[in-house]
Each structure stands twice: as structure tokens, then as C-alpha cells.
């Protein structure tokens, strides 16, 4: 077990997920249902599955595509989503 990779991954994801739409959705669901434990368990299971898919698909794809190109594609996707969100927020204020 590479503890450095584990702690780096934990730290990056913990900070990245604070205040994001997933956390807000879980907060809203727990407030609406007044059932924090089922919401916690369902949200945790979903995050585990998403992370499992991401890590194994990412490991598989690196057999065929260099990490450099995967990083570039991820950056372009993030920028694209950011522009889309910015455009939607600007057009909704009119």
C-alpha cells in the first residue's frame, strides 16, 4: 500500500468535495427526509462506486493513452463545464 498516494488522494478529494454539488445534494436530502443515516449510506455507496469506476477505468485507459493526454482532456472538460456554468448563470440573470 502506497500511503503517500492514499493520503494525497484523500486530501485532494476531501478539499475538492467540500461545498460541491454532491455535498449540497446530500445536505438537502438529509434535511428533507430527516433521515441522515440512510442518506449517508446511500451517498457513501454512490461515491465509492464512482471512485471505483474512475480509478479502474483510469488505470485501464493509461494502457492505451498517455497520462499527458488524459490530463489535457480532463482540463479541457473542466474548462468546458466552467464556461457552460458561467454562460448559464449570466443568461439566467437577464
- Using one digit for the tens of pLDDT, what is the confidence trace for 23-74? 888 999 999 999 999 999 999 999 999 999 999 998 999 999 999 999 999 9
Residue 27 shares a structural domain with residue 72:
no
**Torsions phi, psi for 79 (to 5 deg):** -65, -40
Nearest-angstrom CA–CA distance, 74 and 79: 9
Domain that residue 90 falls in: 65-94
Residue 73 shares a structural domain with residue 31:
no
Please compute, for residue 10, the number of CA atoms within 13 A of its CA located in the half-sphere on the CB side. Answer: 6
**Torsions phi, psi for 18 (to 5 deg):** -65, 120
Q: Please count the structural domains in the chain.
A: 2
Residue 85 shares a structural domain with residue 58:
no
**Torsions phi, psi for 93 (to 5 deg):** -85, -10
pLDDT at 72: 96
Residue 5 shares a structural domain with residue 38:
yes
Residue 75 shares a structural domain with residue 36:
no
For 39, other C-beta atoms within 10 Å of its C-beta total 19
Amino acid at each position: 500500500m502506497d500511503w503517500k498516494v492514499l493520503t494525497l488522494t484523500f486530501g485532494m478529494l476531501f478539499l475538492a468535495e467540500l461545498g460541491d454539488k454532491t455535498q449540497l445534494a446530500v445536505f438537502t436530502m438529509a434535511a428533507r427526509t430527516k433521515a441522515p443515516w440512510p442518506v449517508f449510506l446511500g451517498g457513501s455507496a454512490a461515491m465509492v462506486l464512482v471512485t471505483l469506476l474512475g480509478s479502474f477505468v483510469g488505470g485501464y485507459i493509461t494502457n492505451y493513452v498517455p497520462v499527458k493526454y488524459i490530463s489535457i482532456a480532463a482540463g479541457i472538460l473542466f474548462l468546458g463545464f466552467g464556461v457552460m456554468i458561467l454562460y448559464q448563470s449570466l443568461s439566467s440573470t437577464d
